[in-house]
Amino acid sequence: MGRYAGIIMSEVPAVQVNRLVKDFKGSFRGGGIRAVDEVSLSIAPGEVYGLIGPNGSGKSTTMKAVLGLVKPTAGSCAIFGRDSSKVDSRMEVGFLPENPYFYKHLSAAETVSFYGKLCGMRGAALKARVNEMLELVGLEEARHRRLRGFSKGMLQRIGLAQALVQDPRLVVLDEPTAGVDPMGSRQIRDLILDLKGRGITVFLCSHLLEQVQEICDRVGIIHRGKMVNEGNLEELTSMQDRTEIILQDAPPELLEQIRNLVDQANKGELVSEGHPRSSLESLFLKETIEAESKQKAVSAK
């Protein structure tokens, strides 16, 4: 466990949302819209929390309220016990918006440095931190390139670097892999897992449910502004009345014996059997990495 191991046991939640309501005024003729309706959630330090829901369900508004970008109509939000409408609560937060755009006239290193300076960093410490962040997101080679020529995946990674520059205890990610290719998506997912390993709290919302399932400890499902379900991912997704056994290199005779055992027991039912499938993402990554290795080998010859 990382440097925040002690904090994980702390009583103060990393994020506390209490009965949050957010109404947006409508036009003169039309009525207003309730984007978030009495949403409550609590994220423990060191936890990876995923907020999922369809478009327009209130995910981003909830995130913006946590970050102090919108004012709650009712209810409250706090970050490590500090009212999130106060500027000082943001000392502990790094935020990566959906499809982030940064100043295109700045280079990668200048961008991270700019955000570091805004957090009060300077001198050798800032320089070292910028190098560390660029290395973390794999952009050392592009450090002097202006962001104007960056791909979506590179922008997303520079976004992560700026979010982490002041070493925050909480990272808020809004659709972190939106529009990123599977390779870039995998890198971002690995980075989130790395943050989790270091004890940093992650609050993310994503449409990619498979990815959310892979990295989140807990999830909240929001629909039409209301939290419809929330809890531990294992508890929410496991089918308590079913059991899965995966065998490696099992001969047909052994499988036949198992079927017979189930029949004889007269308790329970064999629902299905077959070969577990790899995900399309894994297949894609395997194929592209192999192709790249072959290409490199040919070039080396």
Partner 1 sequence: MDDRLGTSFFSPRRAGIIALSTVTQLVRMKVFYFLAPIALLFVGLQFFDVFWYEGPEASQPQQELMMHKNLCLGTMMLFSSLFAIVSTALLIPGDIEDRTLYTILCKPVPRLDYLVGKLLGVISVIFVAMLVMDILMVVTLHYRTQAVSAELGEYLSAIGWGEEEVGQGQAEVASHGPSLILQYGVLAHFFKASIIAAVALLISTFSTSTLFTIASSVMIWIIGAVQSLAREGLFTKGEYGVEPGMVDRILGTIISLVFPDFQLFESVSDGAARAMEIGVFDMLHLGGLTFFYIAIYTVLSWFVFSDKEF
Which run of H or of E encompasses 146?
none
Tally of CB atoms within 10 A around 50: 25
Does position 178 interact with partner 1 (CB under 8 A)? The reply is: no
Cβ distance to partner 1 smaller for residue 115 or 233: 115
| Cα–Cα dist 39/68, whole Å | 16
Binding test (CB under 8 A) with partner 1, winner from 68, 176, 184, 199: 68
Query: What's the closest the beta carbon of residue 98 comes to partner 1, in angstroms?
Result: 8
| Cα–Cα dist 46/216, whole Å | 11
Query: What's the closest the beta carbon of residue 51 comes to partner 1, in angstroms?
Result: 17
Binding test (CB under 8 A) with partner 1, winner from 70, 134, 154, 208: 70
99 Cβ partners below 8 Å, 6+ apart? 152, 155, 175, 178, 179
Does position 159 interact with partner 1 (CB under 8 A)? The reply is: yes
Q: What is the CA radius of gyration of the chain?
A: 23
Half-sphere CA count of 97, side-chain side, radius 13 A: 8
Q: Please, which of residues 74-103 interact with partner 1 by CB under 8 A?
A: 86-88, 90-91, 93-97, 99-103
The DSSP line for 39-82 is EEEEE-TT-EEEEE--TTSSHHHHHHHHHTSS--SEEEEEETTE
Cβ distance to partner 1 smaller for residue 58 or 68: 68
Query: What's the closest the beta carbon of residue 154 comes to partner 1, in angstroms?
Result: 16
Interface segment toward partner 1; rule CB under 8 A; list 118-126, 184-192, 234-242, 279-287: 118-126
How many binding residues for partner 1 (CB under 8 A)? 37
Binding test (CB under 8 A) with partner 1, winner from 23, 38, 132, 167: 167
The DSSP line for 118-133 is HTT--HHHHHHHHHHH
Binding test (CB under 8 A) with partner 1, winner from 8, 119, 136, 285: 119
Query: What's the closest the beta carbon of residue 121 comes to partner 1, in angstroms?
Result: 6
Does position 106 interact with partner 1 (CB under 8 A)? The reply is: yes
Binding test (CB under 8 A) with partner 1, winner from 16, 156, 166, 206: 166
Question: Cα separations (Å) of 64 from 36, 98, 159, 206, 260?
Answer: 11, 12, 17, 15, 57
Where do contacts with partner 1 occur on this chain (CB under 8 A)?
Answer: 64, 67-71, 86-88, 90-91, 93-97, 99-103, 105-106, 114-115, 117-122, 159, 162-163, 166-167, 172
